Structure 1
């Protein structure tokens, strides 16, 4: 009996690959935007068994945990609409894990969101919201 290509775990999913590349592009754009705004990038795509932090930065004496959401259009809402209370809670838990893993004791910790709208062939828009959680 022949197996379908979709059943193979080794068959690449073109849509998933496009989403991954769009996400990577958005994180690069967000990191560049925040660094140009005066922040220092400390870590990117930090992972543990509880999840991933997109960007970890320092804004003066404040440690910033940053979630980046990237979209190519607003057909399914703005990038920032993709972050709800459950994600904010997870980011707070991940912040504690990052601090413990790096033995860092900042004066304060802030959760920020960056939404990147990157339409194909169009201008990129970046929206930064400080202190969401």
Structure 2
């Protein structure tokens, strides 16, 4: 796992949405530094949202970004429940359908970028398209 350096000189409070947006940007930069190409962010459909959609070679990568201040209640990665996975699958299916594609016609995977405290963990192929 890599360590994230805290920002210095920051004051004030940050709400949950601002914190989430900040971690999504960090995740995007982290993945881009490892060769993935950005496609879209914050893709919303009725019933779900995908934080990031990236491309890794010929594979479409749907990315869930999670943050936990510490692991007192489990790691950030562990917070991606089967219910959340089903919502991500639904959203990805709708997004692919809008592009005239499907899970059967496009190589894709679901990754999780998890921030627990100052640690970052990238789980590639975190779950399958069949749950």
Structure with larger Rg: 1
Q: Structure 2 unaligned runs (5+)?
A: 1-12
Alignment partners' CA distance in 1, 2:101 and 2:52? 16
Give the structure-1-normalised TM-score: 0.76
Aligned to 2:41: 44
Q: Cα deviation per residue 1:98-130 (whole Å; 9 max; x = unaligned)?
A: 11223356640101111013x4xxxx3210111
Q: Cα deviation per residue 1:70-119 (whole Å; 9 max; x = unaligned)?
A: 122223221111111121122112111111223356640101111013x4
Aligned mate of 1:27, from 24, 28, 34: 24
Q: Tell me the matched-pair count.
A: 113
Q: Structure 1 unaligned runs (5+)?
A: 1-14
Which protein has greater RCO, CA pairs closer than 8 Å, 6+ apart? Answer: 2
Give the structure-2-normalised TM-score: 0.77
More helix by share: 1
The answer to whether the aligner puts 1:53 opposite 2:50 as a matched pair is: yes
More strand by share: 2
